[in-house]
Amino acid sequence: MFQAKVILLVCTFWIYFIQSEVVKRSLSCKENEMFVECSHCGPKSCDDLGHPVPCVGNTGICRPQCVCIDGYVRDANDTCIPKTECPSCGGDFNATTGCGNHCGNSCSDYKEVNKTCLSGCRYNSCDCKKDYVYHDELQKCILPVDC
């Protein structure tokens, strides 16, 4: 009885392995893409930049697929391009990909001198372009005179 269970277990793993290898071979990833057994959370397209991307988490639902390598997202043509080449940061044409740390560069504090800020970057974030500041309520970059 024990041998039968061991054989069944080995066969199950073998079938899973073969199925996984068949899927890998059938998916031919393009330039700047890589194959993953389960898709990961993070920005997936230029439009996602600067906005929280919902993460399903570990629900047990996985699809093997090709995803963009780190630092790349899909453009309108479904091609993986560097995040820095996206036309805008989630639709805000006054922003660019960055750390998302608006300390000292927002409507509420851009006039403060020697502002103490915590360093560090947030994943999937944007910074305002030069001469623009972040408006917390509008959640976009504007000229300081419009604060």
Mean pLDDT, residues 8-16: 45
Question: What is the rounded end-to-end Cα distance, in angstroms, of the chain?
Answer: 76
CA distance 101 to 15: 48
CB atoms within 10 A of CB 98: 19
**What is residue 43's predicted lDDT score, i.e. its pLDDT?**
63
For each of the domains in the chain, give its residue range(s) and CATH number, in order of start.
28-87 (2.10.25.10), 91-147 (2.10.25.10)
CA distance 1 to 9: 13
**What is residue 18's predicted lDDT score, i.e. its pLDDT?**
43
> Following DSSP, what letter does each residue of 22-78 receive, concatenated?
HHHHH----TTEEEESS--SS--BGGGTTSPPP---S-S----EEEEPTTEEE-TTS
DSSP 8-class letter at 129:
P
Residue 25's pLDDT band (boundaries 50, 70, 90)? very low
Structure tokens at 66: 């090709």
**What is residue 142's predicted lDDT score, i.e. its pLDDT?**
95
pLDDT digits (tens, 9 = 90+) for 36-85: 887 756 668 887 776 666 665 555 567 788 999 988 888 889 999 988 78
Pairwise pLDDT comparison (21 vs 138), residue with the higher score: 138
pLDDT digits (tens, 9 = 90+) for 106-136: 898 888 877 777 777 776 678 889 999 999 8
